[in-house]
Amino acid sequence: MNAENDLVRYANGICIRMKGTAEEVNDFREEMLIHLRASVMELLDEGLPEEEAVRTALERFGEPAHIEQELARLNKLRRVFSKNMLVASIILLVLGSFLTAFVPLWNEIFHYQSVKTVFAEVSTHMGTKEHPITPEMEAAVAKKVNRKWDIQAVNLAVIDNGQAVSQIDYVYPASYREDTMKNNGFAFKERWFVYHPSSGTSVKIPGTNKSVAIELSSTLLSDAAFMSGISLLFGYWLLFAIWGSLNAYHNRKGNPVWVITFLLFNVFGYILYLASNRLQHRLQTA
């Protein structure tokens, strides 16, 4: 009986300084007492008197101050690791959401604002019937091409009865010029996350049956960019599920049901987990 009192007193002295929930502290106290009792029984079986067996078991377990420091270090590591994992999952969520939303918005809406500005420059600087493509038009269109990331190149041509009677190329970067001259238009170019399709329109020359045709090599975001966003969202989903599972495990509730719940329902599953904990706590304290 004296041995048990000494062990409980020792365990309480360590646990009273621990940081954590009451459940975590109680679980640690029980584990520590189980270990100490087993150590005392082993020493008693070796023939040591009870008092000496208790003292030896406590010495083997360590000084309370040292144990407290080690526990504090481990708790801090766990909290930092958990926090970093949550932050990383949120970053993946933000980046993934941005990419999956921005790719269709860019390809269907934002990009065409730049296209419209090129069309507007042609209309604004339209010349005479004889010379519709003016130096001012050339300079304004070239300026747009060089300033805008999503317009790679522009080709202007005077069209009369379906035939080009004059043509001027504005090319940026210079590597497009070969393709333009070779194909009499802009070649379809594709990279990892962008592609450059050819598209355009025409602006009628007032007082004539002619028009100025505008062909553009645009920059659109590819399916690879969209799938990168999906991959980031999947990474978020998995990382958040792992974070939730680790938290449940540290709270002694890391059973497979909660792990599956986090994997299937993610943040909604974690909200359900928190609600379950709160309900259980109310029932215990009622």
Query: DSSP string of 239-266?
Result: HHHHHHHHHHHHTT---HHHHHHHHHHT
Say whether 20 sits in a helix, a strand or coil: coil
Contact (Cβ atoms closer than 8 angstroms) between residue 155 and residue 204: no
Q: Is pLDDT at 245 greater than 80 in this prediction?
A: yes
| 115 against 186, higher pLDDT | 115
Q: Is pLDDT at 158 greater than 70 in this prediction?
A: yes
* Pairwise CA distance, residues 14 & 149, whole Å: 64
Across the range 166-182, mean pLDDT stands at: 61
Read off the amino acid at residue 26: N
Averaged confidence pLDDT in the chain: 84
List Cβ neighbours of 139 (8 Å cut-off, separation of 6 or more): none
DSSP 72-120: HHHHHHHHHHHHHHHHHHHHHHHHHHHHHHHHHHIIIIIHHHHHHHHHH
Distances (CA, A) of 28 to 24, 82, 237: 6, 20, 31
**Domain residue spans in the chain?**
2-62, 89-96+226-285, 108-223
Tokens 């399916």 appear where? 223
DSSP assignment, residue 126? B
Quote the pLDDT of residue 207.
87
Quote the pLDDT of residue 125.
93
Quote the pLDDT of residue 253.
74
* Pairwise CA distance, residues 251 & 123, whole Å: 69
Across the range 66-90, mean pLDDT stands at: 81
Q: Is pLDDT at 180 greater than 60 in this prediction?
A: no
DSSP assignment, residue 209? S
**The whole model's pTM is what?**
0.72
pLDDT band (50, 70, 90) for residue 76: confident
pLDDT digits (tens, 9 = 90+) for 15-63: 776 766 666 677 777 878 888 888 888 888 888 888 888 888 888 877 6
CATH 3.30.1140, domain 108-223, yes or no: yes
* Pairwise CA distance, residues 145 & 170, whole Å: 8
Across the range 167-176, mean pLDDT stands at: 65
List Cβ neighbours of 202 (8 Å cut-off, separation of 6 or more): 159, 211, 212, 213, 214
